[in-house]
Structure 1
């Protein structure tokens, strides 16, 4: 056998395992984004000064980077695998939205220092979070419950928390003044809708 054939056959035989690892990384990366976001909210509650380069934001964007890497790698592997490609595309689109929203958030923090709770950059990041949580769940679901039973609760919680998060912020957008008044003290930057 020729060396390229050996490499090709061994790689193709492990393709399913590599896709499973990419799915695990996507789910854990999304969990990291949620933990960093909750940590950031807790920092606001404690009135810790806010800037873009806090450890909480680094945690969020480390999680996003893990999701983006696993999505790019998984998409390349799954181009011929119709069962998993939809979840990988959702992961790729969601992580792109989060990274784009993060860049806008960085610029906002650079110009204004702090930002409000409901901004276009935050809504973009949260929409991307929802897509990655759904994509992570869909990719993980393709491997069967016996293989993924320990990770399925994380994937389900990711979907529930990201849906709740964006739902809460959208409710603030609709009823900005009335709903922001009780939340104002929680966020040192206020509950402004920008």
Structure 2
């Protein structure tokens, strides 16, 4: 048993390095999702044909996969009890965000299959956006506790992902109360409109 633990410890990077990897994957995954979402919105502006497996959506899914890899690594760290304190809470937030994104992504796929193209408000989009916010917050919390100067330089990127994902969710939630005036303004961009499923 002792030999097995020594081998595992010699193969795995130290907890500090693993924590940095988790935070980078979470932050960069959310950033990729946001950029893919903007790319998708711009394709709506030029009225490009919409499919669930479009290149824009694949960029978003790759971001989701990156966040999922971050949460799996974080889960393993929690399971092996090699992380403590505030970092433990941050990893739990990333894991929750990742679960929401994966479940909502699957729900979005089912929604597209059953109902076709949906609008900005759907039963799957808002949980996905909440997952984005949670994952970005977890990534920020992990990065902000690092002492290394290189990783301190990435904190503004992390802050950007928190702000952008929060704005995205806030805009979507605002459509519940102001759908007609706001949707009229953005209808030309999102040619599918702001339909509510």
TM-score by length of 1: 0.92
Q: Is the 8 A contact 2:74 2:95 kept in 1?
A: no
| 1:170 matched residue in structure 2 | 173
Structure 1's 11 and 185: CA in aligned 2 closer, same or farther, altered over 3 A? Answer: same
Query: Equivalents in 2 of 1:5, 1:96: separation in Å?
Result: 30
The 5 A counterparts of 1:14-53 are 14-53=14-53
Indicate which of 57, 82, 85 corresponds to 2:85: 82
Structure 1's 190 and 53: CA in aligned 2 closer, same or farther, altered over 3 A? Answer: same
Unpaired segments ≥5 residues, structure 1:
none
| CA deviation after TM superposition for structure 1 residue 112, in Å | 2.4
Structure 1 residue 104 and structure 2 residue 115: aligned?
A: no
Q: Is the 8 A contact 1:40 1:57 kept in 2?
A: yes
| 1:73 matched residue in structure 2 | 73
| 2:142 matched residue in structure 1 | 139
Indicate which of 101, 120, 123 corresponds to 1:117: 120
Query: Equivalents in 1 of 2:164, 2:113: separation in Å?
Result: 28
| 1:62 matched residue in structure 2 | 62
Query: Equivalents in 1 of 2:148, 2:15: separation in Å?
Result: 19
| 1:95 matched residue in structure 2 | 98
Structure 1 residue 151 and structure 2 residue 151: aligned?
A: no
Query: Equivalents in 2 of 1:61, 1:85: separation in Å?
Result: 26
Cα deviation digits, residues 13-32 of structure 1 (max 9, x gap): 72211221121111111111
RMSD of aligned residue pairs (Cα, Å): 1.8
Cα deviation digits, residues 79-119 of structure 1 (max 9, x gap): 34223111111111111111111111111111222111111
Structure 1's 131 and 5: CA in aligned 2 closer, same or farther, altered over 3 A? Answer: closer
Structure 1's 20 and 188: CA in aligned 2 closer, same or farther, altered over 3 A? Answer: same
Number of aligned residues: 193
Query: Equivalents in 2 of 1:9, 1:170: separation in Å?
Result: 46
Query: Equivalents in 2 of 1:62, 1:13: separation in Å?
Result: 25
Structure 1's 6 and 119: CA in aligned 2 closer, same or farther, altered over 3 A? Answer: same
| 2:129 matched residue in structure 1 | 126
Q: Is the 8 A contact 1:27 1:137 kept in 2?
A: yes
Structure 1's 112 and 16: CA in aligned 2 closer, same or farther, altered over 3 A? Answer: same
